[in-house]
Structure 1
Amino acid sequence: MRVSNRRIGLAAALVAGLLAVLVACGGGSVGTNGTGSPVLVGLNVGTVSGLGSVIVDGTRHDDSAAKTEISRNGTDVEVGDVRLGHRVSLEFGTDAAGTQVLQRIELLPSVSGRVSERTADTIGVLGQTVTVNSDPARGPVTTFESPLSGLADLQLGDAVDVHALTQRTGSGPTDVRLVATRITRRSALPGVRVSGAVAALSAAGSGGARSFRLGALTVELPSAAALQPQGIALLDGRTVTVFAPESAFDPATLVLGASLVQVMSVGTAGSGSAGVASTLGRAGLVGAWTGSTFELDGVGLLVQADTQIVSPGQALGDGAYVQATAVLDSSGRWRATRIERLGTAAAVAELRGTLDDWSATAGTFRLRDTVVTLAPSARIDLAACRAPSLADGLYVEVRGASTAQGLTASTVVCAPEPAGTKSRLERHGLVLTADAVARKLTMRHQAGGAVLTVTWSDSLYLREPLTMAALVALAGTSSQIEVEGTLSADGLQMAARKIKLRTTRH
């Protein structure tokens, strides 16, 4: 279910003093402000490399209590769905016992818009040059959402979400490219958004209008456009996300009229400025490396004698995929405290969940909405399940390499299906009854089988093209659904987090 609520943006939370970005070893610290209520003071930004507990750049996080959201206009949010290759921010709080808890996952597409330019190996979206990566040694491999299998499947005018790493390729304002981590073709485009570091910011003209560059895109900021958080300065080097209606973009001139600009707490920060955090952590591609400075995902950083560099056997340089932590020094510049080359280890993808759509002939199955292909030398361990062979319904843990179409598995280990409210499981079957008002349906996997009662809340995600009306209309038909959620101890009730139409390839 897509739910629209008033969005308290990350930048707004910053200016209120609720957020300090404290990222180290994949996490952050937290506090309760003396009230017992969680106060967010932790943030991690990176690329999703695993599911079944979300894994970001190789670090696993329990996501059982986390909301997944995305904003299309900068003001409202809708429920989202985490997939391999998504760029995300992870926001942490504490529970009543003081334990760190992942509270929110925000999907961060680098650009959402229509394809307006294309070459043999790039596309242009909102003035951003988008390329792909097939080499895991150079960072996350680009994954294409089915039915896409590569850039050749995209046409001029297609609406897309592009999750990507930003890399500076030169010193000019247009010398920036996006290396996609995931590309999805959308059926509709409710608005456009684009993120990047501000360049060539103009002085305010008559009436207060300004403009700046994001790559080849010129962003016009009329005086009526909103700037969040209120009171923050818009400066060259600061990272922003620009929102606008689709009609505000002119593909001929690459000019976008902004309706809202959110200024994030990274970039060339002014010391003591409102909305600027004192530490940050981010994974991305090194650009404009000089040995003493570099740019990472749109953020300029200093490298000093005390910066810890972990890059076994290789010197750092442009194109290296790294995780960096930094502090804001007294001059208002980001000083890197640690830079770690992530290398091919971060390219290992992991999935945990219920196996579906197994084909022994093709050596493929689906797991957590990802097509898994067995490598010729894949190790398959079924001992814990006492199963003679792979089959639909087995709970498995898979490790392998991300590919353009999914994952090539090097190991598949069957495991007992986990119990408890922290484990997300999948069930599929026919809808017997459905009530949108009561937020409940019943379903059966096979004739004569047990009836499963499924309930949900506002955080339910309905995968397109399924809508709530369409879900209710499925009752009594031969169309199957697939439900992901937490299962009761008796296996007869499920609290759903996601429902979609079930499709099979075999």
Structure 2
Amino acid sequence: MKPLHRLLAVLSTLLLLSCGGGTDFAGNGGGGVGTGGTGIVAGTVTGLGSVVVEDTRFDESQAVLESRPDLVRSNALALADLHIGQYAYLDLDAAGTPTRVRIESQLVGSVAGVNAATGRFTVWGHPAVINTDPDRGPVTVFSGFAGIADMQPGDAVQVYGVLQASDGTTDLLRATRIEKLAAVGALPARVTGTLRQGAGTTLLLAGRPLDVSGAANVPALGAGTAVIAVVPWTAQLPATWQASAVALLAPSAAASSLRVSGAVHLLPDGRASVQGVEVDLSTLTQQDRDAVREGSYLTIQGRSRGSDSRRADAARIEALPQGGRTAQLRGSITSVGTATFVVRGQTVDASAAQFVGGSAANLTVGTYVEVQGAQAAAGVAAQRVTFPGVPPERAVLELRGTVQSVDAAGRTARLLARDGRSFDLVLPAQGALPAVGDAIRAEGYWDGSRLQVREFRPDNAGAGEGEDR
């Protein structure tokens, strides 16, 4: 394979995002969960360029990427829709390779009760708190806000996070990512929490009765079940949640290997609850059981019991490393500032970074880098920035240009990129083809000679070069 500087000279308009080869950035085996059977991973996204969940990198090149804003229909996601701080569910095949990556938020609604001093706010009356301490779990990432001090009552937000038990009538959501939405109602409203028993047969969600009579395909519910409910977006808090859809917070399918990360809530009889999964800890060593403390952020690996993953037997646990998870990024620099640059839409502060294979002078738009650092609210504080000698296997590229020719039978096309060079594209097996003369942005996996396109879309006329992704 050619040295990186020669590749970049040819592909000067590409945004390389990298796709993993099954190992993490330290060279450790990736995947793992699911080997020998089906597997499910549920955890916070801690890196990009293939998707990294709780420090483990997964090759998502063959996976379906999706979200379910209404909990019913799946929306396809582009690679650029994956962000650090999101909560992800990965379905793995027998080799531990993802076949599906689903991104799921926990709260969508209007902000109220913001208290910047305590780091707390509410959405639909559900309390949430930000985290600034990496030793306690993922640091809260903000998108559209500089921090909690910028959040105002009435702001429409989407919040990702993990449930933490509280002494009140509802759980506390420990936010891992907070996104400002363009407007109220931009997404279906949703509430996440553990159901509690109300009067008679009534179940309470976030302190209010939950009415599922208008929802289809509702799973079996009971006190102690953690759920996500889609509810009407109203100006005032309703007396009762009239849910249009309800889904389990826990993975909805059973798996021979389950790996779930979140805040621990201790239950009687040697059990614990993590992100809606009730885990039997009795098979763990005494040392491992002693490490399971109320509110601690842990990753628990085990095996599902029953027809879904609400109950599991623990096989081992993984505590956070000292200093928290490492933020990991791989991709092309899309803009450069004073001691900062942007990769995969994340601002990287390189002022204290160690450079490997280059120096700060090499931080230019289009240069491919690998970043390891600490996650902060507004980006990544880089500890190490590496300029690889060769690009990674199955690099993800984005091409912008004009379609020169289309072979409908072979589903291929020729693209004239903005720098005047031409590239061959292999288009997706289904869907409409572009027309000659169309200006498009095509994203996919480079095989050494052609771009295996995952998705393409019209290119906005006049969009600036080097824009953030």
TM-score range, shorter chain: 0.7 to 0.9
State the alpha-carbon separation in 1 of the partners of residues 195 and 444 from structure 2: 41
- Cα shift at 1:191: 1.3
Name the CA shift for 1:127/1:288 in 2 (closer, same or farther; >3 Å): farther
Which of 243, 254, 257 in structure 1 is aligned with 2:230?
243
The residue number in structure 2 matching 1:27 is: 33
Matches within 5 A, 1:106-145: 106-120=102-116, 121-145=119-143
Which of 72, 75, 92 in structure 2 is aligned with 1:75?
72
Is 1:46 the counterpart of 2:43 in the alignment?
yes
Which of 194, 200, 203 in structure 2 is aligned with 1:212?
203
State the alpha-carbon separation in 2 of the partners of residues 54 and 109 from structure 1: 17
Which of 410, 414, 422 in structure 2 is aligned with 1:451?
422
State the alpha-carbon separation in 1 of the partners of residues 248 and 237 from structure 2: 27
Name the CA shift for 1:276/1:100 in 2 (closer, same or farther; >3 Å): closer
Which of 368, 372, 381 in structure 2 is aligned with 1:399?
372
SS of the residue corresponding to residue 407 of structure 1 reads strand
State the alpha-carbon separation in 2 of the partners of residues 339 and 363 from structure 1: 38
Contact 1:164 1:182 in 2 (8 A): yes
- Cα shift at 1:162: 0.6
- Cα shift at 1:198: 1.6
- Cα shift at 1:315: 5.1
Query: Which whole-Å deviations, capped at 9, do the CAs of 1:408-464 have from their partners, x for residues lacking one?
Result: 1111111145366x321344x5657799x9997845343xx313466654999xxxx
- Cα shift at 1:318: 2.7
Query: Which whole-Å deviations, capped at 9, do the CAs of 1:176-206 have from their partners, x for residues lacking one?
Result: 21111111112252412233322125545xx
State the alpha-carbon separation in 2 of the partners of residues 135 and 459 from structure 1: 45
Matches within 5 A, 1:299-448: 299-304=277-282, 306-307=284-285, 309-310=287-288, 316-326=292-302, 334-344=312-322, 346-359=324-337, 362-376=338-352, 378-382=353-357, 389-418=362-391, 422-427=394-399, 442-446=415-419
SS of the residue corresponding to residue 319 of structure 1 reads coil
SS of the residue corresponding to residue 89 of structure 1 reads strand
Give the letter for the 1:489 counterpart. G
State the alpha-carbon separation in 1 of the partners of residues 303 and 154 from structure 2: 42
State the alpha-carbon separation in 1 of the partners of residues 366 and 100 from structure 2: 29
- Cα shift at 1:168: 0.5
State the alpha-carbon separation in 2 of the partners of residues 250 and 387 from structure 1: 50
Contact 1:218 1:255 in 2 (8 A): yes
- Cα shift at 1:307: 4.1
State the alpha-carbon separation in 1 of the partners of residues 207 and 429 from structure 2: 39
SS of the residue corresponding to residue 391 of structure 2 reads coil
Unmatched 5+ stretches in structure 1: 1-23, 32-40, 205-210, 268-274, 461-467
Which of 203, 216, 234 in structure 2 is aligned with 1:226?
216
State the alpha-carbon separation in 1 of the partners of residues 360 and 452 from structure 2: 25
Which of 178, 182, 199 in structure 1 is aligned with 2:177?
182
Report percent identity of matched pairs.
28
State the alpha-carbon separation in 2 of the partners of residues 475 and 305 from structure 1: 60
Contact 1:122 1:129 in 2 (8 A): yes
Name the CA shift for 1:30/1:197 in 2 (closer, same or farther; >3 Å): farther
State the alpha-carbon separation in 2 of the partners of residues 266 and 242 from structure 1: 15
Give the letter for the 1:156 counterpart. P
Contact 1:239 1:266 in 2 (8 A): no
Q: CA RMSD in A?
A: 3.9
SS of the residue corresponding to residue 355 of structure 1 reads strand
Give the letter for the 2:357 counterpart. L
Q: Which has the higher contact order (CA 8 A, sep 6+)?
A: 2
- Cα shift at 1:484: 3.8
- Cα shift at 1:300: 3.9
SS of the residue corresponding to residue 226 of structure 1 reads coil
TM-score by length of 2: 0.76
Name the CA shift for 1:485/1:137 in 2 (closer, same or farther; >3 Å): same
Give the letter for the 2:162 counterpart. L
Name the CA shift for 1:252/1:26 in 2 (closer, same or farther; >3 Å): same
The number of residue pairs the alignment matches comes to 421
Unmatched 5+ stretches in structure 2: 1-29
State the alpha-carbon separation in 1 of the partners of residues 139 and 430 from structure 2: 30
The residue number in structure 1 matching 2:153 is: 156
State the alpha-carbon separation in 1 of the partners of residues 401 and 274 from structure 2: 48
Contact 1:43 1:89 in 2 (8 A): yes
Contact 1:116 1:125 in 2 (8 A): yes
TM-score by length of 1: 0.71
